[in-house]
């Protein structure tokens, strides 16, 4: 049962506009990036770097656009007419990007989000929007997983919620111990997925774990 919302395309257009860099960037923000460029050993005056402070500042506003999002609002519109459907709903393998709060380095991965509806469901795209609302911030993967699960638990009041996130952390693959190909898996199970082992086995096997 897929509910597509007419406003989704408009939302994407809004994100693209921000990405094209229309927002003003204060001088002190650009200066901070110039300082960082110097610190790396490069010359911020050279031609290739001249607009970099502006681009970096706008890129970071976009990476962190989740701070301006209240993810719970995406769950405010629900559908109670579900044709007697009371089995689990799973959105599997949603790609996302976040940044670790320790190094501001990319976290790139996929999330699977499931819930067992009690009396209402949400539009299918809304689970991804909740994920993106929290992932577009500085994060640690454990908190991201817990926040997505708690948001669905508190606002949809389902019988259960299961969130599994698998991601690779650039701060580990590109620096530090430099181990590419390693991914980290975190999970948060609430309600029936925590208490009932058959529900848990079903959701984990549907997710592919
Ligand atoms: Zn890190």
Query: Among the options 141, 147, 166, 202, which is catalytic?
Result: 141
Task: Tell me the pTM.
Answer: 0.87
| pLDDT confidence tier of residue 130, bands split at 50, 70 and 90 | very high
How far is 103 from 92, CA to CA, in rounded Å? 28
| pLDDT confidence tier of residue 128, bands split at 50, 70 and 90 | very high
Q: Which domains does the chain have, with CATH numbers?
A: 8-63 (1.10.286), 74-207 (3.30.1130.10)
Residue 69: strand, helix, or coil: coil
H or E segment at 140?
Answer: none
Q: Residue ranges for the binding site for Zn(2+)?
A: 100, 103, 171
Query: Among the options 101, 142, 154, 201, which is catalytic?
Result: 101
Positions of E strands within the chain: 78-79, 89-100, 106-116, 121-122, 138-139, 160-169, 184-191
In 3D space, the residue among 157, 117, 155 whose CA is nearest the CA of residue 133 turns out to be 155
Q: Residue ranges for the binding site?
A: 100, 103, 171
pLDDT tens digits, one per residue of 1-58: 344 444 443 443 334 444 454 799 999 999 999 999 999 999 999 999 999 999 999 9
Query: Among the options 100, 139, 147, 151, which is catalytic?
Result: 100
Catalytic residue status for 103: yes
């Amino acid at each position: 049962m897929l509910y597509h919302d007419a406003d989704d395309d408009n939302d994407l257009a809004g994100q693209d506009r921000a990405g094209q860099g229309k927002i003003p960037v204060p001088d002190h923000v650009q200066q901070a990036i110039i300082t960082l460029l110097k610190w790396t050993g490069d010359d911020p005056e050279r031609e290739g770097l001249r607009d970099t402070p502006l681009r970096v500042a706008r890129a970071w506003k976009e990476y962190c656009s989740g701070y301006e999002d209240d993810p719970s609002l995406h769950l405010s519109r629900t559908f109670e007419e579900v044709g007697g459907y009371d089995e689990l709903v799973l959105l599997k393998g949603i790609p996302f990007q976040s940044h670790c709060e320790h190094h501001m380095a990319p976290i790139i991965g996929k999330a699977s989000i499931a819930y067992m509806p009690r009396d209402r469901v949400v539009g299918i795209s809304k689970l991804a929007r909740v994920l993106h609302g929290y992932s577009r911030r500085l994060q640690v993967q454990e908190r991201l997983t817990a926040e997505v699960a708690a948001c669905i638990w508190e606002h949809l009041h389902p019988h259960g919620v299961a969130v599994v996130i698998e991601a690779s952390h650039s701060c580990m693959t590109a620096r530090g111990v430099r181990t590419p190909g390693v991914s980290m898996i975190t999970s948060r199970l609430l309600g029936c997925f925590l208490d009932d082992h058959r529900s848990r086995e079903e959701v984990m096997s549907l997710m592919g774990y």
